[in-house]
Amino acid sequence: MSGCNSLAQVQKLVEQLRVEASTERIKISLTAVELVQYCQDHRRSDPLLTGIAASSNPFKDKRSCVLL
């Protein structure tokens, strides 16, 4: 019975490798250039680079903390 199980596992592996081999690949250098261009085009609206105005920050406390 283990030979049958092993054969099924090998068939699954071969099928997975066929799927992976037929996948169309994109050159990494092209993708990196597109990513850099996207970041440069959208840097003005990126809150990590420009910051968030205190008046529009939903996480800022509305009142100050008072210690007694």
Residue spans per domain, the chain: 25-51
pTM over 0.85: no
Per-residue buried b or exposed e for 22-56, using 16+ beta carbons within 10 Å of the residue's own CB: eeeeeeeeeeeeeeeeeeeeeeeeeeeeeeeeeee
Say how far apart CA 38 and CA 23 lie, in whole Å: 25
Q: What is the mean pLDDT of the chain?
A: 83
Percentage of the chain beyond pLDDT 90 is: 29
Span 30-62, pLDDT tens digits:
888 899 999 999 998 888 888 877 777 777 777
